[in-house]
Structures are given as structure tokens and as C-alpha cells.
Structure 1
Amino acid sequence: MSTEARGLLTLSELTREELQGLVARSGELFRDRTAHDRPLHDKVIGVLFAKTSTRTRTAFTSGIVRLGGFPVTYGPNDLQTATGESLKDTGRIFGSMLDALVARTSGPLDDLREMAGAGRLPVINAMAAEEHPTQGVCDLATMLMEFGSLEDISVLYLGEGNNTASALAHGISHIPRCHITFATPSGYGLDPQVLEDAAKRAAESGGTVREVHDTDDLPGHVNVVYTTRWQTTGTVKTDLDWRERFRPFHIDEQFLRRWPDAKFMHDLPAHRGEEVSGAVLDGPRSIAWKQAEMKLTSAMAVLEWVASGNTPQTQRS
């Protein structure tokens, strides 16, 4: 866990036990949203979203209320940072008035780290440019519920190597004998350092993390086919022909037949007709809507963990 705060900035900083605890706890809360003792009772949690959000913002705001806390919400222009106040000074103020902060900023992960350090404040990264860690917890929890175990799972991710992909790389690398292939257009892959770190961690427990740029290089067997929308939230591609480079990675029913037993996942929002067809997204093999619902209980699991400051404990343990 990060030493600056008891929050969650990146899955790479978690221990295997912490991550697996969060994942298992997310599933428990999915089955029973009342299976807790209101751990945020009398706690005030800031909810700062400088970018658009439907699922993550609703999940955290609702989760805070369900866990007994009080959310204080901020939009992109609500803070004095819009008039020139530094992140460091803003963090100091947050730390003196809030018990934790959930934040999706328009800047890099270092912005969240700076606020956490200045305010001695637990900060939960609700998506930064580099990584979307709570999405990773949600994704692994959805797979665990679907398959009963994460060990020996094989995942194929298609599309841009964005912040969701980075979270998946870090998350899956913690799971023994878990494998993931990232199929991305050339020039749109994951950060090389993320790939290197995740691949090294995965290899230590018999897993693999790799990246390819040709749909002829895809694995023969996978349990999950995963995609995200091609235009990541808050980003703009400078290449005017970028859609043509992404077209081979479109998932329709014919493409999905290559893996007849695989489930389909998507972090949403989806653009039907671009990264995925409506027939796949809404079809019988899609677990994307269960995945979306898991956003709430994975947010609750993270909030509960931050409130306690301890390794996540499932009811079974």
C-alpha cells in the first residue's frame, strides 16, 4: 500500500493479499450490499470529478452513503485550483476537513499523490491518465464471480492500451498462473514500463503479460474477451485515420466465434458499431452489465478498506 496515505493510487502498490481481499470483498458485497457495519459512519468523504463519469461517480457517491458516510461533491470548476491555487495547498485544506478523497482529475497520477502527501489524506484514484485502479478491482471481482477462481484464467484485451488496460495488467499480474494478452494497434499500446513491471510480477507466479499488434497473433484459448471504447475519456487522437487502425480490433459475433466458450467484458460506456457490435454487448455471452453493477460494490470494498486502514477482510476469513 502507498506510504503517502491509506488510499489506493495504483494496483502496482498493493500486495497480492490486499488485492485479493478487495476482489473477494467486492463479490461479497455484490451478493449482499448490507453485509457491513457502516464503516464510514460520521466520516466525510470528498468526491472530486474533473472529468465526465456515470458509473464510477455514481458508484462511489452511492457507496459512501450506503456505508454510512457523507459525500461532499466537486465538479471540474468548483475548486480554487481553477483560479490558480496549487494542488499542494488544496490537499492541505482537504486533509484538514475531509476523512478521505475520491478523485478523477484531468492530470497525471502525480497530482493525486501530491494532494495525498500534502494533506496526509487517503486518496482513492477514480481514474488518472495512467491508471484506473478501481476498474481493475471491479474487473477481477466480476471474473471471480463468473468463474469461481482467478487462477489459470486467460484474458484477451483488444483496443487501446489505456488506463483500464494498465489496471488490468497490474491486477492480473498479482494472480497465480493468470495470463493476459493485450492486442493493440501499433503505437497505441500500454506504457512499456507498465508492461515490463507487470510481466515480471506475473512471471514470478507462473503467469504472463504480453502485448501484440496483429490479430493473427491472438491466443487460441481465452476465458474472457475484453474491450474498451477506442476514444478514452478526456483524450483526443492526433492521427486523423486512427479509426482505420483500430478497425481490425472490432468485436462482432463472427470475431467472438474464435473463442466459443469465452465471456465478453467491457468497462463502458460503449460505442456500438465501433469497438463492439450491439449483438455482442447485449448478447448471452456478455457479462458487461454485471461488470457495471460490480462498480458499486467494488467501490464499497475500497472505501471500507480505506476507512479501516487494514488489509481487507472477507466475511469468510
Structure 2
Amino acid sequence: MIRYTLTRLALLLLGLFVASVLIFLSLRVLPGDVAQLIAGTNSSPEQIAAIRTELGLDEPLISQYIDWIGGVLRGDLGTSLLTGTSVTEELVEKAQVTVPLGIFALTIALVFSLPLGVISAMRRGRSSGTALSVGAQALAAVPVVWAGMLLVVVFAVWLGWLPAQGFPRAGWSDPAAAVLALVLPALTIGIVEGAMLLRFVRSATLQAVGQDYVRTAAAKGLTRDAALLRHGLPNVGLSVVTVLGLQVAGIIVGAVVIEQLFTLPGIGRMLVADVGARDLPKVQGELLALTGFVLIVGFFVDLAHRALDPRQREAA
């Protein structure tokens, strides 16, 4: 287990390094001049050149990358070119919205997808199982923006139960209002991601039904459903753990869109605004933080799968 952990940790660090290089280079090919944007349209070439020198934009790319990654290793993701604020501090502030949103969305996805996915598989061929399967396929095909707009129309406009947009100025100092503000966004992401997870759980459960150990348990007197619940579900759980990393990535992508739709002051909305403003240091820090979070989640998912699966431990 120690050797496996060290190997996965080395791959994590390599992935972070490759991601940092790709993020840094990709942002340099965007059209436009950051110095020109900061200086304004009426600025002289001398003023633009002075700004480029001050920001280090006239240095070789390798020097700019080394300066940036050196700051990252010290915990400094950079400073915004336009506002002069610390990227790390802003990320921490915006994460107070994005992280709870992601946790709520993932919880919703797991709560309804796990039991319904198993039920759909166990009732394959019956009308209820078919209905669950068709409903999951339909929900998985719905764009997250459309799902969010439909929920707003139903629960905010027609019923008036929940706020349609925004987040309380007091933030989590007013926990009730903060939670209510995240209900519709979390439902939007959780339902769409949960529908995709439900299909995966159904497929994994159907695969478990055909395994020899389930058939053997059924031959010893257990019903098919009882044999599946007792012996098959642990393996379904291992499959779900494996796919959780992808689910987290999907939730992050969904958060970027949903925070725009519901005007939530989170990392996704900040990222979209910073890309439009060409605030390169800030965008670099945000993208690296999000990429690092996904890679770290994948790292822990791999460790959890290794710890839970006795076959992998025996093969070590």
C-alpha cells in the first residue's frame, strides 16, 4: 500500500506540473495585449511598454513561468493585474460559495442515483425499471442551463418557494438564507449529474447480477434480489467509488455555468469574468487550483478503491 501510494503521489505531482505548463502556455496564445487593456485605449506606446516591463510581460516565457510556479510552491497563486488583490485570498473567499454548492450537488446526486440505479437494475423488464431507465436517459441529456431555468420557473416563479438568483450579502453569517440560495443551483447540478450516475449504477448492478458468486448464493437458497443485495452491492460500490472522480469534475464544470445562471459569487463566475478581462495571473491561479482539486480527488479515489478492493491488495 505504501509503494502504491507513493507511485500515485508521484503521478499526481507529474500531472500538476504538466497542467501548470499547459495552462501557462495556453493563456499566452489568447489574442490581445494585457498591457494595452490595463493602460486604456488612449495610452501611448511608451506607457504600454512601461506597463509590460513592470509586469514582467517582456521577459522570456520560461522566466515568467519560473517566477509564477515559484510563487505557487510558496502558496502564492499570484496577484490580479487589474485589481492588485491576492488570487489566493479571492479563491478562498469565492470557495465559500462553490465548495458548499459542490458538496450539496454531489450529495443530491448520490442520494437519488444509488438506490434508484439499483432498483432499476433489479426490476429490469418491469414497467417501473423501464421507466427509471428511460427517465435517467432523458435527464442526462438535458443541458444543465435548461434544467436550471425550468427549476427557477417552477420553484421560484410559480411556487415562490425559493430565491431565483443571488447570494446573501452576509454570506454564511445568515446560514438559512445562504442554504436557500444554494438549493436550486445544487438541485440543477445534482439532478443532471445524478441521472448519469444512475445509469452507471444500473449498468454495474446488472453486471454484478451475472457474476458467479451471485448465482452461487442464489443456488444456495437466497432469492436473486437477496443474493445481489448481500454479495453484489459491495462490488457495485467499488465501481461507484471509481467514477466519483469524474463526477466531481462534472460538478465543477456545471458550477461554472450554474453560478452564471444564478448569479452566485463563486469561483466559476469569477473565472468567466477574469477570462473576459484577460487577467492572466488570476486566470492561471484559478485554473491551476481547479485542476489541482480534481487531480487530488482522483488521487484519494484511487487510494480508497485500493483499500476497499481485496483483490488489488492481494495482487500487490
Does the TM-score normalized on the shorter chain lie above 0.5?
Answer: no
TM-score (norm 2): 0.26
**Larger % of helix: which?**
2
* The structure with more radius of gyration: 2
* TM-score normalised according to structure 1 size: 0.26
- The structure where strand makes up a greater share of residues is 1
Between 1 and 2, higher relative CO (CA 8 Å, sep ≥ 6) is seen in 2
